[in-house]
């Protein structure tokens, strides 16, 4: 997780998790629509998980 990914996760969370798959993108998008803070938290949690 780089500084730029964290910064982008704070500004627009769905954009930063788009490379993690459609499910992660949709979950983050829905949480961002429901409220900005849950979207940011979800994006940071997804970014913190190691890629398979």
5-25 pLDDT per residue, tens: 999 999 999 999 999 989 999
For residue 32, CA distances in Å to 4, 20, 45 come to 19, 16, 14
Q: How long is the chain?
A: 52
| pLDDT on residue 51 | 78
Alpha helices in the chain (DSSP H): 3-11, 13-16, 22-34, 36-48
* pTM summary value: 0.87
Span 19-48, average pLDDT: 94
Distance CA 23, CA 45 (A): 14
| pLDDT on residue 50 | 85
């Amino acid at each position: 997780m780089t500084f730029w990914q964290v910064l982008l996760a704070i500004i627009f969370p769905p954009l930063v998790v788009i490379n993690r798959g459609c499910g992660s993108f949709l979950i983050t998008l829905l949480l961002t629509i429901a409220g900005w803070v849950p979207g940011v938290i979800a994006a940071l949690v997804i970014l913190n998980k190691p890629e398979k």
